[in-house]
Amino acid sequence: MGMSGSRSMDVAPVQRSVVCGDGYRLRYRTWSPEGVPRATLVLLNGVMSHSGWFQPLAGPLVRTGLKLVGADRRGTGLNKEARGDAPSARALVDDVKSILDAERVAGAPVHLVGWCWGAVLAINVVAEHESSFASLVLLAPGLYPTEALKRRMSDQEEVRKSNPPATPCLESPIREDMFTSGPYLASFIATDEDRTQHFSPRFHGVMTKMAMGAAVRLGHVGLPMLVVLADDDRATDNAQTVGALARITSTTVSIEHVRSAHGIQFDAPDELARILVSWTRTETKGATEPRRNDSRAG
């Protein structure tokens, strides 16, 4: 999977795996600095993507002492078994915890980062394991999809109803050209054989359940929260997202805007890396310390 022109290719990922509670062998990627990392970022991918899509951030982040863990979701990326499927929301949350337990570094705070639909998963993970993390970061969060994405899913309602639950028959509502119009579209995304182009009716049900849960749980997050929005996003409804963030009173919320499409790491990797580096240097308190309750959303 070539990424022409990327200055982060000198920081190669290491492929790792962990056996989950139900026996599923989950494969994922890590990028590590020399010596002990000052913090760890656990990165959650979206519906079509996988951990390899975070490669543009690897160099700029690892060189500042950060460890990256691309916590692939089962059925995506390197995980060929049960492609495009997931048995339950419970399994997906537990999978993230399994990877976290395998990759945690003593003394290094952990920041949970969810991009695209990975933001929905991240909020559900934090709802159960908040004390495991120092902060929550949401990148172009897929909490509120645009009307275009909702139409693409509603148009497939008959396909969903007429196929077995575990069959990957539904097309991903997000198209490849929604991530970027830059060189990564042709050189990487469109040729990536590991991207998930179809998913199962069962996973659709899991996504729907977790999205509803995330919308409710967002207002109860106790961790400091950073949200990075893509100004040219055609997949995420930014106005609805900002409105939801403005209603949060349980924690501090910092919002950054980046001029990019949905794939911020492709259009603006250096700017996104700068934001993440600054955030991890500021929000380094132990996850068990009391959280502030003032809001900076908006």
Considering the domain boundaries, does residue 5 fall inside one? Answer: no
- Give the number of residues written for the chain: 298
Considering the domain boundaries, does residue 9 fall inside one? Answer: no
8 A C-beta contact, residue 123 and residue 221 = yes
Find where tokens 């749980």 sit.
217
8 A C-beta contact, residue 195 and residue 227 = no
Residue 257 belongs to a domain with what CATH number?
A: 3.40.50.1820
Q: Of 295, 193, 192, which Cα lies nearest the Cα of 253?
A: 295
Helix, strand or coil, per DSSP, at residue 28: strand
Give the integer Cα–Cα distance in Å for 84 and 48: 9
Note the pTM of the prediction, 2 decimals.
Answer: 0.92
Considering the domain boundaries, does residue 2 fall inside one? Answer: no
Considering the domain boundaries, does residue 7 fall inside one? Answer: no
Total domain count, the chain: 1
In this prediction, residue 234 carries a pLDDT of 98
Rg over alpha carbons for the chain, rounded to the nearest Å, is 18
Give the integer Cα–Cα distance in Å for 55 and 193: 16
| CB-neighbour burial class of residue 155 (10 A; exposed 0-12, middle 13-18, buried 19+) | exposed
Range(s) of the domain holding residue 225:
14-282
8 A C-beta contact, residue 84 and residue 205 = no
Considering the domain boundaries, does residue 289 fall inside one? Answer: no
Considering the domain boundaries, does residue 162 fall inside one? Answer: yes
Helix, strand or coil, per DSSP, at residue 82: coil
**What tokens does 19 get?**
């056996």
Q: Could you read off the pLDDT tens digit of each residue along the chain, which spans 298 residues?
A: 333 344 545 799 999 999 999 999 999 999 999 999 999 999 999 999 999 999 999 999 999 999 999 999 999 999 999 999 999 999 999 999 999 999 999 999 999 999 999 999 999 999 999 999 999 999 999 999 999 999 999 999 999 999 999 999 999 999 999 999 999 999 999 999 999 999 999 999 999 999 999 999 999 999 999 999 999 999 999 999 999 999 999 999 999 999 999 999 999 999 999 999 999 999 864 443 333 333 333 3
Give the integer Cα–Cα distance in Å for 125 and 213: 11
